[in-house]
């Protein structure tokens, strides 16, 4: 009880509350700028924490992180340029909603889904940190490989009406992900002497190129170019019934986010896509997904925000950072002489509890800041398209450059943009490209690592219950997809009758 | 419209051509493999080759689907013809204007990128902003000129002064903003 009191005293200071509030606000703005990643925002804020109390400093960073994850959805919905990779799934239904004049409704759903998922993720961090961390520790290269193979089945869910084109699009994404130095031998792959390609194609320029640029180029194909056209905000607001209708998808997405977030190295984008795919498969509104379905926004946002609290699990419980952002936060711990892991739980339990309290408070701040900014951000949709699209292009160019400070990334963005425009015109969905591009390096890396461990024995991919579990899920997903696209199960049932 | 009729076949053909180019040229030339790889799947070309073969398979399926769809449409006699075209369908001149405008937009993109190094990101963005807005048919100068001029300047200040990311200024590099 004394420890809880001490923890409360750490949090209940105006400096800590202000730092957390400012962190969430800064994160929301950074997340909403294409090209400014959350990790960049957290890294830029890090120096400001050096002079602060450890709890205040770490909560400032956590605020930036949580605000950034939500902020990414704003531009994804309003201008089809996801601020963060994790928000790329939100584009699928968020932007069509904005085009229908429901930007405000989409932003509201994104906020509610984000806050609920964030809250659940925080609860998981507080109550299941130990259990989830031990589960995450059981993941070796073969388990990762099977998990990613299963995650790739979500391509079927985001391929729209044409599965084959979705799969071809995914292959393009996979081949794009192989550019750079070989993961095992360090030899060149598709580099052709261009040294900028040695590090591979940067993720953010590809992301912006794939989603924002095709929309901009496509604007010039319109007959009347839509001069003066605006995507009206409309009076449509999210109703309680719509929120209730999406609650199941939000809860499922939150859980998916929690489990994937606890596993180091997965990140928010796969969680968002997996949540979206599951919601599409099970929802009665599944057919409307991709056409501006509010439940699609809820599923995507709950998936990526469910990751936020859970990524702290391996960091706090084991001292293992799961991604770049938690690695920066680990740095903040170390600057203040703290070392996350089991010892921190023994020696500085008051700090842990204070962080838990602050993290819960961040969900409330996220709601307040998000709610008050929705009207302002949804006004962007009121700018005439003939002015908005060139402005978005300039924003994208600055954003693509800012990732690595290289003009080459702008070229990558534009080339991918032209490719994305071609895909749009020929009916190739772009989401499978992106999923494969994100998961490709993980898939190959774990495949080859597993074979290195087993010295070429493929039996390693069925070495334990986790592998079997994901193989079973993969087979189940493939059967469901086959059934949905070809009526496979009906055909199998009819076969005996035909024989008699 | 021919584009719609042959769309799948053309799309599948392009993907197939890229896959064949990859398998025949890009992988052998662009992927270097050390000589002493004991396990074949660990060789650097293994993964790209598998992906390209799968891509070729999917491309073939897209072409087949296109041929099947076309033959079905032909046999059902419901192929879209110009006579059945809706009244608001594009005339050839409108279509040509749209294609030309789109081509100009794509070319402008790459000119914009190429101009950043010599003239700097701010000036290139101002010119590009004006050009793209003009190309979009916008003629309300008092609205779009301030946006096109101020946005790159605001972004320049945000990235250099707040985010500490140096933005290239080209031959204006000597000017201390």
Which helix (H) or strand (E) is A433 found in, with range? helix A431-454
Q: Is A457 on the interface with B (CB under 8 A)?
A: no
**Better pLDDT: B95 or A54:** A54
Q: What share of chain A is helix, strand, coil (3-state, %, to 5)?
A: 80, 0, 20
Distance CA A133, CA A312 (A): 10
Minimum distance, in Å, between the CA of residue A132 and any CA atom of chain B: 32
| CB-based contacts of B103, cutoff 8 Å, min separation 6 | none
Q: Which of A274, A323, A303, A315 is nearest to A477 (CA)?
A: A274
Which residues in chain B are closer than 8 Å to A389, comparing Cβ atoms? 132, 136
Distance CA A397, CA B108 (A): 13
Which residues in chain A are closer than 8 Å to B148, comparing Cβ atoms? 390-391, 394
Q: How many CA atoms lie within 13 A of A174 on its CB side?
A: 25
**Residue A455: closest CA among chain B residues belongs to which residue?**
B39
Q: Which domain range does residue A374 map to?
A: 2-138+204-431
Phi, psi of A189 (to 5 degrees): -135, 115
Confidence bin at B140 (pLDDT 50/70/90): confident
- Total domains present in chain A: 1
Which residues in chain A are closer than 8 Å to B112, comparing Cβ atoms? 397
- The complex scores an ipTM of 0.88
Distance CA B166, CA A73 (A): 27
Q: Are A401 and B15 within 8 A, CB to CB?
A: no
Using one digit for the tens of pLDDT, what is the confidence trace for A422-459?
A: 998 888 988 889 888 888 888 888 899 999 888 888 99
Q: What is the pLDDT of residue A174?
A: 93
Distance CA A99, CA A381 (A): 9
Q: Are A391 and B62 within 8 A, CB to CB?
A: no
Residue in A220, A410, A456 to test binding to B, most B beta-carbons within 10 Å = A220
Q: Are B102 and A220 within 8 A, CB to CB?
A: yes
Q: pLDDT truncated to tens, each residue of chain A (500 aa)?
A: 677 888 888 888 888 999 999 999 988 888 877 667 787 788 778 878 878 888 999 999 999 988 888 888 888 888 887 777 778 889 889 988 888 888 888 989 999 999 999 889 888 888 887 777 777 777 888 988 898 888 788 787 777 778 899 999 999 999 999 999 988 888 889 998 888 899 889 887 888 888 888 888 988 887 655 555 555 555 578 888 999 999 999 999 999 998 888 877 677 788 888 898 888 888 888 888 888 899 999 999 999 888 888 888 878 877 777 677 887 888 888 888 888 877 777 788 888 889 889 988 988 999 999 888 887 776 776 778 888 889 889 988 998 898 788 999 999 999 999 999 999 888 898 888 988 888 888 888 889 999 988 888 899 999 889 899 989 988 988 887 777 666 655 555 665 544 43
Which residues in chain A are closer than 8 Å to B154, comparing Cβ atoms? none
Q: CA distances (Å), A22 to each of A30, A175, A332, B13, B84, in order?
A: 12, 41, 17, 53, 61
Q: Are A175 and B48 within 8 A, CB to CB?
A: yes
DSSP β-bridge partners for residue A180: A189
Distance CA A226, CA B177 (A): 37
> In chain B, what are the domain boundaries?
2-84, 93-172
Q: Is A187 on the interface with B (CB under 8 A)?
A: yes
Phi, psi of A397 (to 5 degrees): -65, -45
Residue A449 lies in a domain: no
Tokens (6 digits) for A265? 């190295």
Q: Are B11 and A456 within 8 A, CB to CB?
A: no
Q: Are B113 and A411 within 8 A, CB to CB?
A: yes
Determine the 3-state secondary structure of A180 from DSSP: strand
Tokens (6 digits) for A449? 């690592």
Q: Are A171 and B61 within 8 A, CB to CB?
A: no
Quick one: average pLDDT of B121-129?
A: 94
**Residue B121: closest CA among chain A residues belongs to which residue?**
A398
Minimum distance, in Å, between the CA of residue A397 and any CA atom of chain B: 8
Distance CA A40, CA A31 (A): 10
| CB-based contacts of B25, cutoff 8 Å, min separation 6 | none
Which residues in chain A are closer than 8 Å to B10, comparing Cβ atoms? 426
Distance CA A171, CA A465 (A): 29
Using one digit for the tens of pLDDT, what is the confidence trace for A119-173?
A: 898 888 888 877 777 777 778 889 888 988 887 887 877 777 788 999 999 999 9
**Burial of residue A226 (number of CB atoms within 10 Å: 0-12, 13-18, 19+):** middle
Return the DSSP state at A454: H
Residue A456 lies in a domain: no
């Amino acid at each position: 009880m004394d420890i809880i009191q001490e923890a409360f005293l750490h949090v209940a200071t105006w400096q800590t509350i202000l730092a957390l509030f400012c962190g969430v606000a800064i994160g929301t703005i950074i997340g909403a700028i294409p090209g400014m990643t959350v990790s960049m925002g957290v890294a830029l804020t890090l120096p400001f924490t050096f002079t602060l109390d450890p709890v205040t400093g770490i909560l400032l960073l956590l605020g930036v992180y949580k605000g950034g994850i939500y902020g990414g959805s704003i531009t994804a919905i309003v201008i089809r340029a996801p601020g963060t990779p994790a928000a790329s799934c939100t584009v699928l239904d968020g932007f069509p909603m904005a085009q229908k004049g429901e930007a405000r409704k989409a932003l509201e759903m994104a906020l509610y889904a984000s806050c609920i998922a964030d809250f659940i993720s925080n609860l998981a961090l507080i109550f299941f940190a130990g259990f989830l961390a031990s589960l995450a520790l059981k993941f070796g290269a073969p388990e990762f490989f099977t998990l990613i193979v299963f995650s790739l089945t979500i391509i079927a869910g985001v391929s729209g009406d044409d599965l084959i084109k979705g799969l071809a699009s995914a292959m393009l994404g996979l081949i794009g992900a192989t550019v750079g130095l070989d993961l095992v031998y360090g030899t060149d792959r598709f580099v052709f002497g261009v040294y900028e390609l040695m590090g591979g194609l940067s993720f953010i320029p590809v992301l912006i190129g794939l989603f924002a640029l095709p929309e901009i180029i496509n604007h010039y194909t319109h007959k009347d170019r839509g001069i003066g056209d605006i995507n009206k905000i409309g009076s449509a607001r999210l109703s309680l019934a719509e929120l209730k209708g999406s609650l199941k998808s939000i809860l499922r997405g939150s859980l998916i986010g929690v489990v994937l977030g606890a596993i180091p190295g997965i990140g928010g984008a796969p969680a968002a896509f997996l949540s979206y795919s599951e919601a599409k498969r099970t929802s009665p509104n599944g057919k409307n997904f991709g056409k501006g379905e509010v439940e699609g926004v809820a599923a995507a946002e709950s998936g990526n925000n469910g990751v936020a609290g859970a990524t702290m699990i391996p960091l706090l419980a084991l001292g293992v950072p799961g991604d770049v952002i938690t690695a920066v936060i680990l740095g903040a711990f170390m600057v203040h002489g703290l070392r996350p892991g089991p010892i921190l739980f023994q020696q500085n339990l008051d700090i842990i509890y204070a962080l838990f309290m602050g993290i819960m408070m961040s969900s409330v701040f996220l709601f307040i800041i998000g709610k008050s900014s929705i009207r302002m951000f949804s006004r962007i949709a009121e700018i005439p398209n003939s002015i908005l699209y060139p402005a978005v292009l300039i924003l994208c160019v600055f954003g693509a450059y800012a990732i690595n400070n290289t003009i080459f990334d702008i070229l990558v963005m534009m080339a991918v943009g032209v490719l994305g425009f071609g895909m749009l015109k020929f009916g190739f969905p772009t989401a499978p490209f992106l999923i494969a591009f994100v998961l490709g390096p993980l898939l190959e890396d774990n495949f080859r690592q597993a074979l290195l461990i087993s010295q070429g024995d493929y039996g390693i991919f069925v070495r334990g219950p986790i592998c079997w579990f994901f193989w079973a899920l993969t087979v189940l997903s493939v059967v469901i997809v086959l059934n949905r696209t070809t009526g496979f199960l009906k055909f199998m049932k009819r076969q005996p009758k035909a024989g008699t | 419209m021919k584009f719609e009729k042959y769309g799948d076949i053309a799309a599948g053909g392009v993907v197939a051509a890229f896959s064949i180019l990859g398998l025949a040229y890009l992988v052998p030339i662009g992927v270097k493999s050390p000589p002493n790889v004991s396990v074949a799947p660990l060789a650097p070309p293994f993964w790209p080759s598998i992906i390209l073969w799968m891509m070729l398979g999917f491309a073939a399926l897209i072409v087949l689907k296109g041929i099947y769809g076309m033959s079905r449409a032909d046999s059902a006699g419901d192929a879209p013809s110009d006579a059945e075209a809706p009244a608001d369908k594009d005339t050839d001149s409108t279509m040509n204007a749209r294609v030309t405008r789109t081509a100009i937009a794509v070319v402008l993109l790459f000119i914009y990128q190429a101009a950043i190094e010599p003239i700097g990101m701010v000036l290139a963005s101002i010119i590009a902003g004006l050009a793209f807005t003009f190309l979009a048919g916008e003629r309300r100068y008092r609205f779009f000129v301030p946006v096109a001029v101020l946005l790159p300047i605001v972004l320049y200040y945000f990235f250099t002064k707040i985010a500490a990311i140096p933005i290239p200024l080209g031959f204006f590099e000597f000017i201390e903003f």
